[in-house]
Amino acid sequence: MTLYPSNRSKLGTLGRPVGSSDQLIQAEGDMDKSEPLLTPSTSTTNIGSFHESDSVSEVDMLLAEGEGAVKKKRRPKRGEDFTFREAIVKADFWLLFFVYFAGVGSGVTVLNNLAQIGIAQGAEDTTVLLSLFSLFNFVGRLGGGVVSEHFVRRDTHYSLSKTIPRTIWMTFTQIIMIITYLFFASALDGILYVATAVLGICYGFQFSIMVPTAS
């Protein structure tokens, strides 16, 4: 029943004994032998059977739902588990995908070309840039989780209006990343190392915030 829930018995047979085919044939034979002389009209019979079957099916449905034997199928709501096919038709999925693609994707692009960026701006040792990015990426991942978790749970001590959702922090970090990319493009003196450190923090923020946001 767990592996093949569609093969369960119908609602009309829940809690009722199922007769064999021999009993059905015998019952039909008895009905033919005891046929009354005056039969009721077909419309009256149909109406009575319709109301009777309708009321019985509603009662069976309510009892089955109460006992957990039958569960109505419904689409999952926000916050519940989605299958892949259910997720790809949701706007939330594509919004989070685009945000993650833009934020983390651009950060990976800069990371892969950090040495070339340093050489183009006259940096003597590009390994320092990579170490700086990795260090502040670590700080951003730890700090992003702590900060976002603190502000998203402020409703336990403060009013609900003072809570800050994780998506707001994602927006802030991506705005800062845009400014950082402009700093890279400007090639100002002494701005390369500062921009690399700030980009590492924002890059780590994106990683630490996206997972709990999706969950």
Domain residue ranges of the chain, discontinuous segments joined by +: 5-67, 84-214
pTM higher than 0.95 for the full model?
no
* pLDDT, position 12: 47
Mean pLDDT of 91-114: 90
* pLDDT, position 166: 86
pLDDT score of 179 more than 80: yes
Mean pLDDT of 82-103: 88
Mean pLDDT of 168-189: 90
Residues 76, 108: Cα–Cα separation, whole Å: 33
Say which residues have a Cβ less than 8 Å from residue 163's Cβ, sequence separation at least 6: 151, 152, 153, 154, 155
Asked if 204 contacts 177 with a C-beta cutoff of 8 angstroms, the reply is no
Backbone angles phi, psi at 112, to 5 degrees: -70, -25
Least confident of 46-50, 93-97, 135-139, 194-198: 46-50
Mean pLDDT of 14-25: 50
pLDDT digits (tens, 9 = 90+) for 75-86: 788 778 888 888
Burial class (CB in 10 A: 0-12, 13-18, 19+), 2: exposed
pLDDT score of 156 more than 90: no
* pLDDT, position 67: 63
Least confident of 4-18, 35-49, 179-193: 35-49
Least confident of 10-14, 141-145, 187-191: 10-14
* pLDDT, position 77: 80
Residue among 155, 141, 156 nearest 211 (CA): 141
Mean pLDDT score of the chain: 76
